[in-house]
């Protein structure tokens, strides 16, 4: 429950209340890398489901816009606004997922580079102090 609350974007205090635990527990858990990984994974899952739902809604939104273009657009202002909101949200969600994938790849590359640097430093230290 706590993982889901935090993944959904609730503050530590609100998540603690909803999950029936203390603020300090939430604070401490969020300093555990494994727990933070679970929150991140749950958040990614929520974003993926949201993106899927928006993508599913995008085609009907486009079809509705096409229909409105053939009709009197003045009468359908709310429909145009709603369809536009769905399309903007779908595109923004797609961009967010793409950015998340790029960030994950960058983070992995940075971790590999840091491991390489640490190995180089260890070898240099061994040569000098061997």
Q: Could you write out the DSSP letters of every residue in the chain?
A: -HHHHHHTT--HHHHHHHTTS-HHHHHHHTTSHHHHHHHHHHHHHHHHHHHHHHHHHHHHHHHHHHHHHHS-GGGGHHHHHHHHHHHHHHHHHHHHHHHHHHHHHHHHHHHHHHHHHHHHHHHHHHHHH-
Mean pLDDT, the chain, integer: 87
Q: Is the pLDDT of residue 73 over 70?
A: no
pTM value? 0.55
Q: Is the pLDDT of residue 5 over 90?
A: yes
Span 22-71, pLDDT tens digits: 999 999 999 999 999 999 899 889 888 888 888 888 888 888 877 877 77
pLDDT for res 78: 76
């Amino acid at each position: 429950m706590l993982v889901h609350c935090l993944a959904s974007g609730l503050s530590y205090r609100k998540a603690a209340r909803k999950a029936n635990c203390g603020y300090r527990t939430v604070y401490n858990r969020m300093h555990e890398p494994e727990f933070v990984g679970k929150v991140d994974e749950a958040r990614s899952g929520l974003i993926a489901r949201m993106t899927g739902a928006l993508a599913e809604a995008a085609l009907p939104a486009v079809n509705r816009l096409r229909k409105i273009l053939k009709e009197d657009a003045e009468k359908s202002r709310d429909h145009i606004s709603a369809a536009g909101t769905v399309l903007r949200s779908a595109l923004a969600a797609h961009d967010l997922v793409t950015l998340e994938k790029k960030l994950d790849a960058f983070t992995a590359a940075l971790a590999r580079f840091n491991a390489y640097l640490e190995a180089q430093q260890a070898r240099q230290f061994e040569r000098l102090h061997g």
